[in-house]
């Protein structure tokens, strides 16, 4: 049975004081649980990675980054390498988030390179795929997502692929208050799993962890996580409230 993962993406939020308070609230709540129904990953602003990795008092939390660059070092002002991120104690890294693709113009090629850099430095990449509203309305979202998947997984062998996680994030449902229905989300998750089954093997596809990200909150999490091919969530705004985030973790059944 696949484990559930609930990953928080704090994005560009929280001062140092606010981040520490949020982190402590989440950690305290998790520490009270005799059984945590999911692996919890906090993808925090990179400034806070080392502090949280060193100060966490429970193994129920792992720390992740929200982005990296694909070179290990060099004249890339303002960038952070996967090697640097790993050295600060992170275990995960979000790659190809729709905001990176759409605001910063990251290509499928860059998503591949960044994923490979994570794997080379023992970071687990959470690779994001998903369609904007115009692609959804044109009913070409399956082929669009397939291209995003092929751009990465056509270049990773089975062993490499098994160290990655995929997050499906319908771009039209991020920060808009809208969310894909469980049926809409399940349709795409099923397609992704079938893609992986064909690309690698039925077992590899069946074992693969695929998260849903797109205005997932404490109200809709249980319905989404109950879907056969949804293995947890990549949580944005709702992860900035400790109580809401803990309720989402409880929904991981």
Catalytic residue positions?
97, 169
Across 22-32, b (16+ Cβ under 10 Å) vs e yields bbeebbebbee
Interatomic CA distance for residues 92 and 124, integer angstroms: 5
Helix (H) / strand (E) element for 61: namely: strand 61-65
Interatomic CA distance for residues 1 and 209, integer angstroms: 11
Interatomic CA distance for residues 193 and 207, integer angstroms: 9
The three-state secondary structure class of 238 is: helix
First to last CA, the chain: 12
Sign of the CA dihedral running 252, 44, 127, 241: positive
Beta strands in 72-227 (DSSP E): 92-95, 124-129, 165-168, 210-212
What tokens does 157 get?
Answer: 């062998």
Chain position carrying tokens 């005799």: 34
């Amino acid at each position: 049975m696949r484990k559930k993962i609930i990953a928080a993406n704090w994005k560009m939020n929280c001062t140092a004081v606010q981040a520490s308070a949020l982190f402590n609230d989440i950690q305290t709540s998790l520490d009270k649980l005799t059984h945590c129904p999911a692996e919890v990953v906090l993808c925090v602003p990179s400034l806070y990675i080392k502090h949280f990795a060193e100060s966490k008092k429970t193994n129920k939390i792992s720390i992740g980054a929200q982005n990296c660059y694909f070179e290990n070092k060099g004249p890339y002002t303002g960038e952070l390498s996967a090697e640097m991120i790993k050295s600060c104690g992170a275990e995960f890294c979000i790659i190809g988030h729709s905001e990176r693709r759409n605001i910063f113009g990251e290509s499928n090629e860059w998503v591949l390179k960044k994923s490979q850099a994570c794997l080379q430095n023992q970071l687990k990449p959470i690779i994001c795929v998903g369609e904007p509203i115009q692609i959804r309305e044109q009913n070409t979202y399956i082929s669009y997502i397939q291209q995003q998947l092929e751009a990465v997984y056509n270049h990773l062998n089975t062993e490499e692929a098994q160290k990655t996680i995929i997050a499906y994030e319908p771009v039209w449902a991020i920060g808009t208050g809208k969310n894909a229905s469980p049926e809409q989300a399940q349709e795409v998750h099923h397609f992704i799993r079938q893609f992986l089954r064909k690309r690698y093997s039925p077992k590899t596809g069946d074992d693969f962890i695929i998260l849903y990200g797109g205005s997932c909150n404490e109200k809709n999490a249980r319905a989404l996580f109950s879907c056969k091919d949804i293995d947890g969530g990549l949580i944005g705004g709702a992860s900035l409230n400790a109580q809401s985030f803990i309720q989402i973790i409880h929904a991981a059944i």
